[in-house]
A and B are shown apart, each in its own frame.
Chain A
Amino acid sequence: GAGVSQSPRYKVAKRGQDVALRCDPISGHVSLFWYQQALGQGPEFLTYFQNEAQLDKSGLPSDRFFAERPEGSVSTLKIQRTQQEDSAVYLCASSLGPGTYEQYFGPGTRLTVT
């Protein structure tokens, strides 16, 4: 079956531009996570959705970061007025439900802010 997909795979943005990153989770997966992975580091939690509800956004680094999952499936992570420190790989993961620990990751979107 299809895994988690993300688009675009690579994005170059000039500082100050807005970007939108898309995640298509595995069909039927209730839980959806966004992570940020800086070079040489592990994934760091950004935000969590259960269906369409954003239950935890404690990892979002600033109010320039916004995520949504309006119909409980596809999710979009938006970064406004991008800064150089936003350069990272953004990973999306989904899992069957809130009680399951195994998360399935997409390939990520590599964002480079110049």
Chain B
Amino acid sequence: KQEVTQIPAALSVPEGENLVLNCSFTDSAIYNLQWFRQDPGKGLTSLLLIQSSQREQTSGRLNASLDKSSGRSTLYIAASQPGDSATYLCAVSDAGKSTFGDGTTLTVKP
């Protein structure tokens, strides 16, 4: 059974800092990995999708990497802003069904 772990559970940083969120998974037989953002009481916003054959994806200030063999992914956020404050979820998929980590709650202080 796939298990997804996210570290740290919570993170508080001053505005402008670069930061890294970590995600690990136990079964490397994945189809893709997605990073999502969730604001309190809201649904999910997809940030980045990495196919199993890819090593990284970039979108603006976000960069996600994937090392499938070691079961790890990182989400790098550059020059953090207060608007980045949210919970970030990592999900691995086997061509449809996703298993989610518990998320990292990020607070960026002005």
Asked if A pairs with B, the answer is no
Chain B interface residues (CB < 8 Å from chain A): none
